[in-house]
Structure 1
Amino acid sequence: MKTHHFVGEIKIKQSWWSKMKYLLFVSLFVLTLSGPAVEPKDSDLVAPQEMIDEINRVQDLWIASSEWVGNMTFAQAKLYASSKLEAKKFPEKDWGALLDYLSIPASFDSRTQWPYCTKPLWYGDDCNAGWAFAAAETMTDRFCIATKGAFNITFSPLYLIICDVTLPELGCLGGTAENCWDYMRTTGITSIKCFPYNPGDWNQYCPYDECRWGTEITLYKTLSVNTFTSPSSIQAEILQNGPIEATMTVYADFQAYKGGIYKHTTGGLVGYTSVKIIGWGNQSGTNYWIAGTSWGSTWGMKGYFNIAFGQCGIDRAGVAGPPDLSNIPTIKI
């Protein structure tokens, strides 16, 4: 009896160990096939056709296309994602009890709410300083909205790119949205008429005292800077005061976005970009933001895109401020 019991234990242990060795072998075999995670090279294609085909095969929320991205390499893609993320330096806007009583609609679009304040998106061309383009666009919209369209000029992104040289702002090489808004709080921004912007025209001096045509420069400021780190706070701010700027993570698949509601599906980190959030919506139970880039009208939906709430940190790094109307011409609001 004892011998039989002992032999049985040996058989059970041998059987268990055989199974463990088999599972270990299978695991190692799979790891060998998949190989180690390889950091993409700058010369690698950021969104090869096989990736695009896979994206469209495994999900149906959004459409990927090679139409814009083409044979773009990772090195080229990084130029479109040169914004930087830093620790938050400005306070979250305190809505107090208002947030509890504010009725947030299921969908909202600044373009239909304030059509007289809608302007084309800037195109960054070979200098994609998204942090500056989105800031200039957002300030332009906010001045117009605050004055009900009475003060409707366009602000110059080039002024921010050339003049805001406080680190870590590096012009076409990158910058942060919060520091840009701080610059517009302390120094300001001028109009496109004063400091015209033409794609590729970056070799300029900052017009500290006068406009390009020799007239005296006028600077417009934001009264303060607030950050927004939750969907409800962003929705309330847009509903009350207009678009905000946000910085989001850019993955390789985002470069191939053509339409639909973007959710990161595949592909490695490319960098960060700053965009203008103008509204939100809901489709089949998926909440999404409506935002615009400075990547040109041939990308996405004429430069715009929809992105699901919570994706790529877009609703954790918002920034904006109220316009300072003290030095604009006397108007009735």
Structure 2
Amino acid sequence: MKLLLAVFLGLLAAVSSSPVKSLKQDFVEYSADLVEKINSMDTTWRAGRHFAGETAASVLDRFSTAGLSLEKAPKLPVVEYDRAGAIPTEFDARTKWPNCPSIGRVNDQGRCRASWAFSAVGAMTDRQCIVHPSAPFNYSVTDAVTCNVFHEVPDGCAGGYSADAWSTWVLDGLVSGGGYHTSNGCRPYAYKPCDHYETGSYGPCESPPDSTYCNKTCINGYTKTYAEDKKKGDYRYDLPLNETIIQEDIMTSGPVSADMNLYQDFLNYRSGVYQHKTETRVGLLTVKIIGWGVENNQKYWLCVNSWNSEWGDKGLVKILRGTDECGLEANVHAGKVIQ
């Protein structure tokens, strides 16, 4: 046990030299001890056991995004936005656009560090349905991961920035694709779901692939060629660090993607309004924001994660709103669908 603890603390030091604000470092972070410590604090959320049975090394390997940081994230043109009216206290895009089931869909990135693609591609798919409800189009996460046109992401399974997915959509286009092991679309998702929960039903995650390959062909039996299937967006943009403008954009046009710092305690989120209680960053994560609300006097963003519906609050997470928690509000990206 002492040897395992020493190895784990060494890994943490390699990921981040930042001190832990509210938790001691004399325990294995992904154990029940972390859950107990979080739940004994006077905070706004509850923790639960996730990733049980895994080593610290395997958990860190799954989420580590070496070399990537919010400071290095690409910037898109900032949208000019005029306020259109009052902002409601609560909003849920699933309720406003009930005929677009993709809005509330919880996916699983599996062994690939592809949250950056899932969030952006998910928001593109949502916005496509909102603008063209009679002709929905599920964009391919695999295409965004493997055929990204930017050098910032030479290997999409090593992590990335959602701004690059939006730019690829506008400048080069993306084909269609459904979930893992489906025949939906030109390029369905390539990696099987896996457990992100203590007693998950999918089985353990494999190691991330060493590289990704841009295969510009559709699956056998699909009726269109890769080139014929592609769709482009009209333009892509950043939203300013302004809570009200972000709300206005979601309420008007649909969900957005948001890059954020991933702290060790986020992995054990179960319910409530998340705000990080540790300063040890284990990587980057991107979520899709679909709404907002207030819980126990705490404002939050309603976000969809990509660790399947067994993680967190049925795959969703509420993140503290109005304080740029984890850098989320300063890194919100979106795009306009061609009419």
TM-score by length of 1: 0.78
CA shift for structure 1 position 41: 5.1
User: Is 1:126 matched with 2:133?
Assistant: no
Q: Distance in 2 between matches of 1:152 and 1:127?
A: 26
Distance 1:275 1:301 in 2: 14
Q: CA deviation at 1:64?
A: 0.5
Question: 1:254 aligns to what?
Answer: 266
Q: How does 1:101-250 map to 2 (within 5 A)?
A: 101-119=84-102, 120-147=105-132, 149-164=133-148, 166-169=150-153, 170-192=155-177, 193-200=185-192, 205-208=213-216, 210-213=217-220, 215-217=224-226, 218-228=229-239, 229-250=241-262
Partner of 2:308: 296
Where does residue 22 of structure 2 map in the other structure? none
- Structure 1 residue 220 displacement after superposition: 1.2
- What's the CA shift for 1:128? 2.4
CA separation of 1:252 and 1:168: change in aligned 2, threshold 3 A: same
- Of 74-83 and 183-192, more deviation after overlay is shown by 74-83
Is 2:130–2:254's contact at 8 Å kept on the other side of the alignment?
Answer: yes
Structure 1 position 67, deviation (Å): 3.9
1:102 and 1:197, CA in 2 relative to 1: closer, same or farther beyond 3 A?
A: same
> Contact 1:80/1:295 (CA < 8 Å) preserved in 2?
no
CA contact (8 A) 1:157 1:197 kept: yes
More divergent stretch after superposition (187-196 vs 67-76): 67-76
Deviation by residue 1:146-186 (Cα, 9 ceiling, x = unmatched): 12x21222111001111115211121001111122111111
Partner of residue 23, structure 1: none
Task: Please point out which of 67, 77, 80 is paired with 1:91.
Answer: 77
Distance 1:279 1:70 in 2: 34
Cα distance in structure 2, aligned partners of 1:115 and 1:78:
37
Cα pair 1:45 1:72 within 8 Å, conserved: no
CA contact 2:156–2:212 (8 Å) conserved in 1: no
* Contact 2:256/2:332, CA 8 A, preserved across alignment: yes
Partner of 2:277: 265
Gaps in structure 2 of 5+ consecutive residues? 1-8, 16-26, 178-184, 194-208
Residue in 2 aligned with 1:32?
Answer: none
C-alpha displacement of 1:79: 2.2
C-alpha contact (below 8 Å) 1:230/1:315 kept by paired residues: yes
Give the paired residue count. Answer: 284
Aligned amino acid, residue 93 of structure 1: V
Letter in 1 for 2:231: Y
Q: Partners in 1 of 2:142 and 2:73 — Cα distance?
A: 25
Hey, what's the Cα distance between the residues in 2 that align with 1:113 and 1:237? 14
1: distance between equivalents of 2:236 and 2:126?
A: 16
Q: Does the aligned pair in 2 maintain the 1:247–1:273 contact within 8 Å?
A: yes
- For 1:111 and 1:163, how far apart are their aligned partners in 2? 30
How far off is 1:45 after superposition? 3.8
Q: What is the alpha-carbon distance in structure 1 between the residues aligned to residue 86 and residue 295 of structure 2?
A: 19
Partner amino acid for 1:223?
A: D
> Which stretch of the first structure deviates more once superposed, 253-262 or 158-167?
158-167
Q: How far apart, in 1, do the equivalents of 2:290 and 2:118 lie?
A: 14
Shift of 1:200: 4.3
Aligned-partner Cα distance in 2 for 1:128–1:90? 22
Task: Say if 1:38 and 1:81 are closer, same or farther in 2 by CA, change over 3 A.
Answer: closer
SS in 2 for 1:116: coil
State the 1:313 CA deviation: 1.1
Corresponding letter in the other structure for 2:121: A
* Long gaps (5+) in structure 1: 1-36, 326-333
5 Å-filtered alignment, 1:274-285, equals 274-285=286-297
User: Aligned partners of 2:60 and 2:85: how far apart in 1?
Assistant: 40
Determine which structure has more spread, i.e. the larger CA radius of gyration. Answer: 1
1:253 and 1:185 map into 2 onto residues whose CA distance is 35
Once the two structures are TM-superposed, the CA of residue 311 in structure 1 deviates from its matched residue by 1.1
2:120 maps to a residue whose letter is A
Query: TM-score, length-normalised on structure 2?
Result: 0.77
Higher mean Cα deviation, 156-165 or 272-281? 156-165
**Candidates 283, 306, 323, aligned match of 2:318:** 306
What's the CA shift for 1:48? 2.9
Moved more, 136-145 or 61-70: 61-70
- Residue 318 of structure 1 and its aligned partner are, at CA, apart by 0.3
- Alpha carbons 2:51, 2:59 under 8 Å: kept: no
**Segment of structure 1 superposing worse, 41-50 or 220-229:** 41-50
Query: Could you tell me whether the CA contact under 8 Å between 1:245 and 1:320 is conserved in 2?
Result: yes
Aligned with 1:52 (options 27, 30, 35): 35
